A and B are shown apart, each in its own frame.
Chain A
């Protein structure tokens, strides 16, 4: 069967690509669109390293087929910084050493941004449960959770 021809919007830019049915959105992002910021840690939705926004919903791009995204909006880690300025979460993660190896970081940042857009004042409990699908093996989560809460506080102040 011929490949699917898909048009979608990624990080605000219109994109077109061809994909096989079995290719996931993650495969398309990484291998076809060369957006390798989203990572494959498990390919089963258990690690969150491939987190992206799909029409405003946080999803694992490894659990979405490429052919499903026709006409839809996708936001990835590559779209998080605007121009020269990092998103406040990105900045805070750097200042707070909220990453060690950095492989989970793109997914954690995309997920954390989604949280703060819904809930500008999350409790520690809410941050931890929201991020439960983002495995990190290096940090023990402490500095990640702290950085998300500190960013939220700073953003509330404006």
Chain B
């Protein structure tokens, strides 16, 4: 098993593109190492991207924020401005595992692990984040909701990696929130996750919104119907009911050891509403 830690994106891409056998990108390693230990994967090549500057930086870019794919949850939490602008994204990233896991786990890894239950992904999708992909054919941006196609299935080409995420500029009176349901208070994989991002007009009416649900389908869902259900409202009771109905209608979950189909649909609706209310509350105080 070969291990490489290139210092440039080009170097990483060249290694991955030229790899014979199975190659894996190592960001935080919190999924990869577990899968290796459990004999689920047995890569011939591991490419550690933590020595690549773009993957490790948080910068302001085109009025928004660029977050490297290998920035850890702990680093995101410590960033002085990000949590003001994107509290939902930061809290989602900080729900991945324990404090110890936070010291390692990354947004890039969470997305590329390809789990529909990934906590940071619904928040990124609700935020309208773009993933910046770099591969042998150059760089391209893809909305986060289009990166994951299904469990362990990604839209990446051979040799392509997620280098960073770009979060768009934030108008005033905007905010976001992410909630997940787990049986314990920590350390579980989301049974359901719901991310909501919204903006208010001068009259506290929701002018824009994005709603994303995790762990209720084969991939994390962007649910435009749920967003439509609350746009133009002040999130009064009827709007909440419409939001819940739209969230329910979008769910296509499975029964498994973490929850039943019925439970996931019920809780998705509840969390979508609760997330929206938190985001609304935050947006009101974000002038």
Whether A68 and B5, one on each chain, are in contact in the complex, defined by CB atoms closer than 8 angstroms, is yes
Interface size band for A: 20 to 34
Closest Cβ–Cβ distance, residue B70 to chain A (whole Å): 12
> Is B103 close to A, CB under 8 A?
yes
Cβ contact of B100, chosen from A1, A20, A45, cutoff 8 A? A45
User: In the complex, are the beta carbons of B33 and A133 less than 8 A apart?
Assistant: no
Contact B98 A133 (CB under 8 A): yes
Max chain A C-beta neighbours (<10 A), residue from B1, B33, B46, B100: B100
Cβ–Cβ contact B101 & A132, under 8 A: no
Find chain A residues with CB under 8 A from B72 CB: 57
Query: Contact at B100–A65, with CB atoms within 8 Å?
Result: no
A43 close to B100 (CB less than 8 A): no
Asked whether A54 is an interface residue with its Cβ less than 8 Å from the other chain, the reply is yes
Which residue of chain A lies nearest to B37 when distances are taken between CB atoms in the complex?
A: A43
Answer whether residue B36 sits at the interface, using C-beta atoms and an 8 A cutoff.
yes
Residues of B within 8 A of A24 (CB): 33
Q: Kindly state the separation between the CA atoms of A57 and B26 in the bound complex, as whole angstroms.
A: 18
When distances are taken between beta carbons in the complex, the residues of chain B under 8 Å from A64 are 29, 33, 104
- The answer on a CB contact under 8 Å between A130 and B99 is yes
Q: List residues of chain B with CB within 8 A of the CB of A57.
A: 72, 74, 103-104
Closest beta carbon of chain A to B117's beta carbon, Å: 15
| Cα distance A43–B39 in the bound complex, in angstroms | 13
**Nearest Cβ in chain A — how far from B52, in angstroms?**
14
Which of chain B's residues have a CB closer than 8 A to the CB of A60?
A: 98, 100-101, 104
Contact residues in B for A20 (Cβ distance below 8 Å): 1
- CB-CB < 8 A to B187: which residues of A? 46, 132-133
Residues of A within 8 A of B28 (CB): 63
Chain B positions 125 through 153: 1 when the CB is less than 8 Å from some CB of chain A, otherwise 0: 00000000000000000000000000000
Give chain B residues whose Cβ lies under 8 Å from the Cβ of A37: none
Residues of A within 8 A of B104 (CB): 57, 59-60, 63-64
- Bound complex: CA A83 to CA B235 (Å): 61
**Residue picked from B1, B34, B98, B101, most chain A C-beta under 10 Å:** B98
CB contact between B34 and one of A4, A44, A48, A68 (< 8 Å): that residue: A44
User: In the complex, which residues of chain B have a beta carbon less than 8 angstroms from the beta carbon of A46?
Assistant: 98, 187
Within 8 A of B (CB), among A106-122: 111, 114-115
User: B3 at interface (Cβ–Cβ under 8 A)?
Assistant: yes
A58 touches B5 (CB 8 A): no
Partner of A63 from B5, B34, B38 at Cβ < 8 Å? B34
- With the chains together, A57 CA to B2 CA distance in Å? 26
Q: With an 8 A cutoff between CB atoms, is A21 at the interface? A: yes
Report the Cα distance A113→B27, complex, angstroms. 26
Give the interface centre of B26, B29, B46 by most chain A CB atoms within 10 Å. B29
Whether B30 lies near A63 (C-beta < 8 A) is yes
B48 at the interface (CB under 8 A from A): yes
A44 to B1, CA, bound (A): 20
26 of the cross-chain contacts (CB-CB < 8 Å) are A21-B1, A21-B46, A22-B36, A44-B37, A48-B98, A54-B103, A57-B74, A58-B99, A58-B100, A59-B104, A60-B104, A62-B33, A63-B29, A63-B33, A65-B26, A65-B29, A68-B26, A68-B29, A68-B50, A111-B100, A132-B98, A132-B99, A132-B185, A132-B186, A132-B187, A133-B100
10 closest Cβ pairs, A-B complex:
A133-B98, A132-B186, A57-B103, A21-B1, A59-B103, A21-B3, A60-B100, A44-B34, A133-B100, A67-B3
